[in-house]
Structure 1
């Protein structure tokens, strides 16, 4: 699946970084259909090209505050089929909470200095484009420590560890591999999280997404 060509709109106010990223993504099989240096340019490019994913920096001209994330929230509202990958130097808890308020599917938040390989970034783009979630562990940790933690505090250390990995987009099998435990053990921890978060089974059974959203909502601003 990773050889599927993704269509990407890239928003970054640094021309050097933007051009370098566009070149690297092209080498990795992505099609950068447009680049943008400001939030209005980003919105216009997404409306015009309808990419698989929009890569967004939080702080963009003219004020260098939250223009990027406001544009991302607008894209999310107007074109929910477009994945959003925030790529920033900063962990902005309020911004992350705003973006995740209507669901975590198709959302990513990576920190520039913590992406060691281009392949990791491209993998995250594919995951977000496929409706998954790609959250840097530091972002998740800061969300955990940032606010009310009533139900989160009921989790054991291992249950919290499993939920953090779920929030990063890992499957039960992937979590089992990372934690060096059986997949059955992971399933038990996930079931315990569902129980503690008050998430009974339903026909649609989207408890996994709801658990992550509960985790992020209670741990946000």
Structure 2
């Protein structure tokens, strides 16, 4: 996997680079800000760009805007946003794109899981910070999510994180057939058409959550 990293904190930037290299991946370039990042992506052709949401000069949403630009011009490139705090709007604005992930920075400490997530995003999959998903799937009074049982909301959280039915079954210690039944019920209750494409299933769920919570 070929990676470009954009992170203003030097220690974290170098730590990420070391982590990817130790994991057998190539770090094509590193940036301390978002300036020139699109040119670097065009020149190096990475599989994945890892970037902070907040970077110089204003430390507001430079990274998020750069991520959107990258996905617009290079849709096949995976983008993994990192943030110190939960920032739902930025995450959900991009969450319906293929090859997109959003994690809190402390997840980097879980090296094996972090690298697995990065590889999934680079391969066109999705990954959302579990704490963000848990917030989003909290039932809205009178809304469609209120129709779901507690177990179904748990399955929905894992679906939105990008887990397959097999992965969900392993996490919940239930059979894959049981998970398939929960997924069918969730899709019916949320009025989402069933699909053979698991990735489209996750995107549909995220799009629905985005609409229900009125996230721009």
Fold equivalence (TM over 0.5): yes
1:15 equivalenced with 2:17 (yes/no)? no
**Contact kept in structure 2, 1:149 and 1:219, CA below 8 Å:** no
1:131 equivalenced with 2:124 (yes/no)? yes
* Deviation of 1:216 (Å): 3.9
When the two structures are superposed, what TM-score results if normalisation uses the length of structure 1?
0.88
Using the TM superposition, name which of 86-95 and 205-214 deviates more.
205-214
* Map 1:67-216 → 2, pairs under 5 A: 67-100=62-95, 103-145=96-138, 150-201=143-194, 206-216=200-210
Alignment partners' CA distance in 1, 2:98 and 2:170: 23
1:40 aligns with 35
**Contact kept in structure 2, 1:104 and 1:213, CA below 8 Å:** no
When the two structures are superposed, what TM-score results if normalisation uses the length of structure 2?
0.90
Alignment partners' CA distance in 1, 2:186 and 2:54: 35
Deviations 1:17-74 (A, max 9, x none): 2112112211111111011111123222112112101001000000000000001011
Q: Which runs of 5+ in 2 are unaligned?
A: none
SS at match of 1:51: coil
* Deviation of 1:195 (Å): 0.6
**Contact kept in structure 1, 2:77 and 2:122, CA below 8 Å:** yes
SS at match of 2:91: helix
User: RMSD between aligned alpha carbons?
Assistant: 2.2
* Deviation of 1:92 (Å): 0.6
SS at match of 1:39: coil
Alignment partners' CA distance in 2, 1:198 and 1:129: 30
- In structure 2, the CA distance between the partners of 1:207 and 1:119, relative to structure 1 (3 Å rule), is closer
